Amino acid sequence: MNGDAGIKERVACPDNVEAGPTRDSGGFTYLGVLVMVVVFGIAFSSANRYWATTAKREKEAALLYAGERIRAALGSYYGSGERNSLPSRLEHLVRDNRFPGVRRHIRKIYRNPMAEDGAWEIIRASKGKIRGVYAGSSLKPLKRAGFPKGLEEFENASTYADWKFVFKEKAAPKKTP
Question: pLDDT (tens digit, 9 = 90+) per residue, 58-99?
Answer: 999 999 999 999 999 999 999 887 677 899 999 999 998 888
Write down the domain spans for the chain: 59-166
User: What proportion of the chain, given as a percentage, has pLDDT over 70?
Assistant: 81
Given this model, what pLDDT does residue 32 score?
86
Residues present in the chain in total: 177
Instruction: State the DSSP string of 44-89.
Output: HHHHHHHHHHHHHHHHHHHHHHHHHHHHHHHHHHHHSSSS----SS
Residue 106 and residue 114 in contact, taking contact as beta carbons nearer than 8 Å: no
What phi and psi, each to the nearest 5 degrees, are found at residue 134?
A: -155, 165
Measured distance CA(148)–CA(136) in Å, rounded: 21
Mean pLDDT by 10 residues, the chain (177 residues): 60 60 67 89 86 91 95 92 84 90 92 94 91 94 90 92 90 46
The DSSP secondary-structure symbol of 41 reads H
Closest Cα partner for 65 from 111, 9, 30, 22? 111
Q: What global pTM score does this model have?
A: 0.71
Q: Which three-class secondary structure state does DSSP give residue 34? A: helix
